[in-house]
Structure 1
């Protein structure tokens, strides 16, 4: 399945919900132009930025006619030196074609995916489950993360638990 992300378009969860103001980050592995890559999904980033070294490695054409001053990565503002079009593959078969900014090294990630990608793509972060939820409810396990809960967790309902405890009280 391939999706073209157009300007102003929203899919999945983001089409029906307003994102909260908490900024979350999650790492996952995907493919950029058919090369394995480390992706950082960052709900605090407004734009998506591709590492310039990775862009050269996969042979991206960079349009240098546009620049963008960015803040938030590193100590001081830096310049994103152009834009390129990427093919981003998640979960093995979900393909997105998307324009991203190209900039200096992004701290160990090949690509930082910001809200400009996540909202139109319908992707949300489920950090309690340790996964990224795609629009078709397919979940991708986050790199280096385990769920906060598992299948061995027993659910306890307060009214049932309270009743059981009071029934076992000596009279």
Structure 2
């Protein structure tokens, strides 16, 4: 990421990434979405050293991953720890709707993985579930969701906090 990028922070909550990204990016280059507008506004007021650097209209309430009002200038998207709290159908919808951003270079998504249809103890000890939070999904379902959205999946080798796995979803070259 460079200061010139336009970042879409999906499920940004109280700006746990935003408090770092907003000062780093050029003014107006950060957009956050979340199911709770109140949570995002609270984060803007309490987490940012200069709240005026993030216009209120850059925080968009969006529980359906339709990205209303988000401009086509988005170059990067991140959904960190979002889909660990949502049932599996949310991921394909969110990825498919990202295709409307013509300048998107890549999206980063973190999830818990397991092929087990029962609760699974992740590497750091957290127990995930196929049917309730924190959710896990299969590697195959992640690859399928990314490919079905017209994006190219890449599983990154590092494990993230709590044992989440990082994936990139990028448009094919030439698009």
Structure scoring higher RCO (CA < 8 A, sep ≥ 6) equals 1
Q: Hey, which of these two has a bigger chunk of strand by percent?
A: 1
State which structure, 1 or 2, has the greater radius of gyration over its C-alpha atoms: 1
Range of TM-score over shorter length: under 0.3
More helix by share: 2
TM-score relative to the length of structure 2:
0.26
